Amino acid sequence: MKPLDPNKFNKYIMNTARDVIQEYQLIEPDDRIVIGLSGGKDSVLTLHILVNLMDEFDFELVAVSIDEGIIGYRSNGIDAARANATKLGVELVEGSFKEEFGFTLDQTADLYQSACIPCGVFRRQLLNKISNELGADKVATGHNLDDEIQSFLMSVFKADFRRFSKFGPKLDRIHPNLVPRIKPLWKIPEKDVGMWAVMNEVDVHFAECPYSQSSLRAKVKNYLNQMEGKRKGTKLSILESFSQTFKFQKKAIIMGQCKLCGEPSSLNVCKACEMVEEIKNHLSKK
C-alpha cells in the first residue's frame, strides 16, 4: 500500500473541518470561543484546527481543561493539554470536580452503573459555567464523526428522543446561560484523528479512560467498528441518514434554571445538583 502523503492528509483534515464550519456557520466574526481541552487526540486536533483558522474566521480562543479526578489517567491528559496550549499560545483555564463539587469522580465510581454518567453531567455543567465566566459565545468540543453516531445510536437504543435535539454540528442557544456547542470534527472519523496525531507527532494523551469499558458507548463503538470493517462507509451512511431524517430541526426545549445552582435546567433542580446530594450522602455514610 502507498504511504500516505502527510501534506495531503493534513489538508484533507483542515478542509473537512473548514467545510463544516462554513456550511453550518459554526463561527461568526468576533466570537469568543472556548475549547474544551482534555489533552486527548480529538480535543487537541480541534485546538490545532481552530488556531489555524483564527485569522480567517476572525475569532478569539480560550482553552478550558477539567480535571474529573481519575487517578492514573487524567493528570497525563492535563499535561498534554498544557503542552499544546503553551505551544500554540492559547490561554488555558483549569477547573476540577474536587474544587467545584467537593469530590473526585473516583469517589463516585461505585455509586452508578457507569462512572460516565456522573462524569458527563458534571463535566458539561462545569464547562458551561466556566465558559460563561469567560464570556464565551460558543464552546467547541472534540466530538468526531464516531462520537456523534455512537451518541445517536445510544439515544435510539434508549428511545431518548429528547436527546435528538442535541445532535448536529451546532447547537443553538436555548437559554441565555447555556453556551451553544460547536463540533468542528463532526465529519472526521476517529481513526483519522488518531492518524493525524501520530503522523504529526503531536503531544496527545492516547490512553483510554479506565472507566470507558463499562459504558454503553464502548459496546456501541465496538459494534460500529465491526460493521465498518465489514462494510466500509457504514458510519458515514448512518450520519447521512440521521442528517436527512431529522434535518436538525431543533424542537423548542423549555429551559429554566436550577433553583439551587442557577445553571440552565429543564427541571426545578438540575441533574448535577441532584447527583451532588446523592454523592455527598453516600460519602458521608462511608
Burial (CB < 10 A; 0-12, 13-18, 19+), residue 30, is: exposed
Given the complex with Zn ion, which of 13 and 270 has the nearer CB atom? 270
CB of residue 189 to ligand SF4, shortest distance in Å = 19
115 binds, among Zn ion, ligand SF4, none (CB under 5 to 8 A by kind): ligand SF4
Stretch that binds Zn ion, among 142-150, 196-204, 212-220, 251-259 (CB under 5 A): 251-259
Phi then psi for residue 250, to 5 deg, are -90, 115
> If binding is defined by CB under 6 A, does position 209 make contact with ligand SF4?
yes
Alpha helices, DSSP H, located in 202-284? 216-230, 234-246, 271-284
Strands 32-36 and 60-67 turn out to be parallel
Given the complex with ligand SF4, which of 20 and 45 has the nearer CB atom? 45
> If binding is defined by CB under 5 A, does position 83 make contact with Zn ion?
no
Instruction: Please name which of 179, 183, 191, 185 lies closest in space to residue 167, comparing C-alpha atoms.
Output: 183
Given the complex with Zn ion, which of 165 and 177 has the nearer CB atom? 177
Given the complex with Zn ion, which of 93 and 261 has the nearer CB atom? 261
Q: What residue ranges in 37-101 does DSSP mark as E strands?
A: 60-67, 92-96
> If binding is defined by CB under 5 A, does position 261 make contact with Zn ion?
yes
List the x/- string, 199-238, binding to Zn ion by CB under 5 A. ----------------------------------------
Q: Under rule CB under 6 A, which residues in 65-104 are in contact with ligand SF4?
A: 68
Beta bridge partners of 67: 96
Given the complex with ligand SF4, which of 51 and 127 has the nearer CB atom? 127
| C-alpha distance from residue 242 to each of 113, 156, 253 (Å) | 28, 11, 20
258 binds, among ligand SF4, Zn ion, none (CB under 5 to 8 A by kind): Zn ion
Residues 6+ apart with CB under 8 A from 11: none
> If binding is defined by CB under 5 A, does position 258 make contact with Zn ion?
yes
> If binding is defined by CB under 6 A, does position 212 make contact with ligand SF4?
yes
Phi then psi for residue 170, to 5 deg, are -145, 130
Residues 6+ apart with CB under 8 A from 83: 203
270 binds, among ligand SF4, Zn ion, none (CB under 5 to 8 A by kind): Zn ion
List the x/- string, 149-168, binding to Zn ion by CB under 5 A. --------------------
Can you read off the three cell numbers belonging to residue 71? 487517578
Strands 32-36 and 138-140 turn out to be parallel
Can you read off the three cell numbers belonging to residue 69? 479526578
Q: Under rule CB under 6 A, which residues in 259-278 are in contact with ligand SF4?
A: none
Given the complex with ligand SF4, which of 32 and 82 has the nearer CB atom? 82
CB of residue 198 to ligand SF4, shortest distance in Å = 21
Can you read off the three cell numbers belonging to residue 62? 480560550
- The binding site for ligand SF4 (CB under 6 A) comprises 68, 115-116, 119-120, 209, 211-212, 215
Site residues, Zn ion (CB under 5 A): 258, 260-261, 270, 273
